[in-house]
Amino acid sequence: FIVVDSMLDGDTTVVKVLSVACSKASDAGRGPRKVEELVEFHVELCPDEEGNSRSSILHSNRIVLEGKVLRMVNWADSADVECEASSRGKGGALIELLDGSLFQ
């Protein structure tokens, strides 16, 4: 998995994480096959009344990929720190599949 973004709001931090999951899917008439999915989830981290850390998943999304993932790296569409801080820039991931396809 990789962390692609985080936001701080008071004592609460929300972290956006991407991961790859492998599952079995049926292929009409050809039996089961393995499918890779991109899994995105947002995790909220905050302290409770006793000062202990508490976490919960706020959102998750799955995208079925057409091939196997070769590598996944952090990616930003701008190198300008001020641009990123003002929300004009956007962090994310660059994903390369075994066939050479790239997804941002």
- Between 55 and 33, whose confidence is greater? 55
Give the integer Cα–Cα distance in Å for 30 and 9. 50
Q: What phi, psi does 97 have (nearest 5°)?
A: -90, 165
List the end-to-end C-alpha distance of the chain, in Å, as a whole number: 15
Give the integer Cα–Cα distance in Å for 83 and 104. 19
pTM (global) more than 0.95? no
Tell me if 46 sits within 8 A of 12, measured CB to CB.
yes
Mean pLDDT, residues 74-98 taken together? 67
The residues near 83 (Cβ < 8 Å, ≥ 6 apart) are 89
- Whether the predicted pLDDT of 82 surpasses 50: yes
pLDDT given at position 39: 92
